[in-house]
Amino acid sequence: MNIFWEILKPTNHKVFGEAIAILAGDALLTESFLMMTGTTSNGKKLKPTYLMNAIIEIASAAGACGMVGGQVQDILSESSEPDINTLYFIHLHKTAALIKASVRIGAILAGARRNKLKVLTRYGENIGLAFQIIDDILDIEGKTEELGKSAGSDIKKNKMTYPSLIGIEESRKKAQDLVYEGVDALRIFSFEADPLREIARYLLKRRT
């Protein structure tokens, strides 16, 4: 008996029905903005202008010009010809936008200046894109037990991915370049950016 199958649970809409599942999404989305208004640092309330900028960051990254936009394009592209520019758009919005936002928000709440935010934007986008490409490589190579979904499940669904468009080796190189470039951008930071460097390195090592 594989431990992996024991922790698999049916999704919300299978258990509670589609209407409740959609409402759960609406509620979580709304509650997330409510939570952000009460965000504190070491128990101290943060500056309202910083919090407001963090809310702008998350809303922009999640909404029509971010994750939702990428998801819509992903659905619209399901039956169309594979195209590397469309795929880049999808990854940049569906995956990288929120990763970028999560990297930037720490800096925003600490009152970082524009030049530092610019560097973190570059790092976050690159890491986000690399994460997605590596995910698609692992989907082909990975074993079901390790990955949490059936290996090759994207191929079965005829999904547009980097490996399916430019091959596994080229994709791996692309992901590496993105990660190196992202880490290189961090050079204006000293050891305080080490956790970000470590995350980047982990991305290239991960097998699951």
Binding to a copy of itself by CB under 8 A, coded x per residue (else -) over 16-35, reads --xxx-xx-xxx-xxx-xx-
Minimum CB distance to a copy of itself smaller for 27 or for 84: 27
Touching a copy of itself, residues 142-181 (CB under 8 A): none
Buried b (16+ CB within 10 A) or exposed e, 139-151: bbebeeeebeeeb
Min dist CB 50 to a copy of itself, Å, is 9
Minimum CB distance to a copy of itself smaller for 51 or for 119: 51
**# chain residues binding a copy of itself, by CB under 8 A:** 30
Three-state SS for 124-177 is HHHHHHHHHHHHHHHHHHCCHHHHCCCCCHHHHCCCCCHHHHHCHHHHHHHHHH
Touching a copy of itself, residues 32-91 (CB under 8 A): 33-34, 37, 48-49, 51-52, 55-56, 59-60, 62-64, 68-69, 71-72, 75
Touching a copy of itself, residues 100-139 (CB under 8 A): none
User: Are the C-beta atoms of residues 137 and 166 closer than 8 Å to each other?
Assistant: no
Min dist CB 145 to a copy of itself, Å, is 30
Which residue has tokens 């998801």? 71
Q: Kindly state the DSSP code that residue 191 receives in the 8-state scheme.
A: G
Minimum CB distance to a copy of itself smaller for 13 or for 118: 13
Min dist CB 78 to a copy of itself, Å, is 10
Any alpha helices (H) in the chain, and if so which ranges?
3-7, 12-16, 18-37, 48-62, 67-76, 84-90, 97-109, 114-141, 144-147, 153-156, 162-166, 168-185, 194-205
Which residue has tokens 């009460």? 38
Residue 8 within binding range of a copy of itself, rule CB under 8 A: no
d(CA 186, CA 196): 9
Binding site for a copy of itself (CB under 8 A): 18-20, 22-23, 25-27, 29-31, 33-34, 37, 48-49, 51-52, 55-56, 59-60, 62-64, 68-69, 71-72, 75
